[in-house]
Structure 1
Amino acid sequence: MRALPLALIAALLAAGALTACDDTTKTPGGAVNPPSPEPGPPKPDDAPVDGGAEQPSSEPVPPSPDPAVQPSEPPVPSPATFQHNPAGALPTGQGAGYLDRTVWSPTMCWPLAEAGFANSQVYGPGGGMGPAGKPSQCDTLNYSLPWRDNFCEARSRSNPLCAGAGTGHQGQDIRPASCKKNEHWAVAAEAGTVTDIGTYTVTLVAKAAPHYTYRYLHMQMATLAVKEGDKVMAGQKLGKVSNDFGGTPTTIHLHFEMRAGVAGATTDGKPIALHTFLPPYLSLAQAYQRKLDGKTCGN
């Protein structure tokens, strides 16, 4: 059989006299079955469906017309990985303590450049009310976990949040990483201004609202890294933990205080006036956990 000329074949196709060769088949009723798919790897069940309008990689993604509202509260910290007793839980005979579940300063820096141990310098070994038979302040009990809250510990200092006569410990005692004075740095809990330096105290007022006042006691006053009026950044070195206490040395520890920048209330509804001493224990615990997590100071 002689082959048809190409021009004639094209004309016949256009007129419908010939059909193109394909994989379609007709059913007895005349319906056309689709061609068999080309062989290839199977697609996963969750393959994305193309709706017909892909975003070119060269074109920036437009912003959402209704962006999600960002939370105003700070992120929840990671669960604590170090041992610490509950807030307000003081050993029998050491004072009533004060249970307040407020984390007053949720993003503050841990006030030491290194590790530390929150406990009592008065009721711990070597303290004025310490256990008999343990005269050394360097006893391992002072430098081991768990932490102990000692806000509202039995003291003679005025503190309106403390039960009874309104007296008790005004802050938290923190032992440095080792029982060595003039070696371990205390740092700024927040960015702010050093407003006062006393005979054994350094006062820092935070720049950011609500402008908490932080007071550091018992650093080596002769070698402070700051002076009155200095503006400091969060985490900046202030001085070295020591035992300065005017003319009477105390144990080697940092006494750390927080005072209210605005009026408010505790979790049990007790009113807080401007400059009231605040329980710092939970703020310190969260700040320490952030340090253990390797997070930048203040975040």
Structure 2
Amino acid sequence: MGLPKEVNITEVCPRDGFQSLPDHVPTETKIDIINRLIDCGFSQMEVTSFVHPKAVPQMKDADEVLKGVKKSNNVLFRALVPNLRGLERAIAADVEKVKLMLSATDSHSLHNANAATMEAMDKFIPLVERAKESNTKVAGSIAVAFGCPYEGEVPTDRLLEICQRYEDMGITDISLADTTGMAHPVLVKRVISTLREEKPHFHFSLHLHNTRGMAFANAIAGLEEGITDFDSSAGGIGGCPYAPNASGNIATEDIVHGFEEMGIKTNIDLDAVIEVGRILAEQFPAQSDSFILKAGKSKDLVTAPGKQVKIGEK
């Protein structure tokens, strides 16, 4: 299969990035970063999650953030919701699309949602019905889809079972998340190939973490299997609070730069994203992880040396 000519990038720093930071990020800072990201050309952005403040304290100001950001007809706002209460808050905030929180394994789900995977899915039913009433789009997610820190590699049959349960609820837009960066290209290709063969009518996207430096290689593996939608976080900030050592998402500037260098359009203003990444790196240096911020773009040339320097020359 040839590579696509164009991909879609969803920016998730306002949710996945900020939720992982140890110190509270002021509401005004979140609003400023989101407004800057809106101007970068994203068609979709995950702006927050409507969870209980005790579960994820960084998201306690979700309602205030949504009131403060500028609205744009060019950017669809998506938010993570764990339950019906979260959905109602998202609806009140005029969020157009919500993503459900779900883990592939019972062990991770018990930490993340205080319920086993299938029990958590049962609780989605009234939520999905309410979303339909309000014309709110609903996407599903499968966290630790490529490996769980508690149970190891996740059987593909388990992922197919979850997909079928989603389909029974009318959801075929599914995000596959490498939550702890346990994936590798061969695994990514095998999983996506199987899922797309069994569920050809589904729309799968990839949510990749760079915990072990494999995220861009895994993105290419996804491209080769027909994936054209990817999540990323400006500055490489992110991580799951319920997964040990889960470092940041693949940096938006890294994945945009990589795809554009390959001739694959992202429709994102790379320089604008880099500037946001720099701002984030200055404010949160310990959590920033971006190759482009360190090395610059491949096309950034430097002045050639005036003469050859010989060893021993004075």
TM range (shorter): under 0.3
Q: Specify the structure having the higher radius of gyration (Cα).
A: 1
* Higher RCO (Cα < 8 Å, 6 or more apart): 2
Which protein is richer in helix relative to its size? 2
Q: TM-score, normalised by structure 2?
A: 0.24
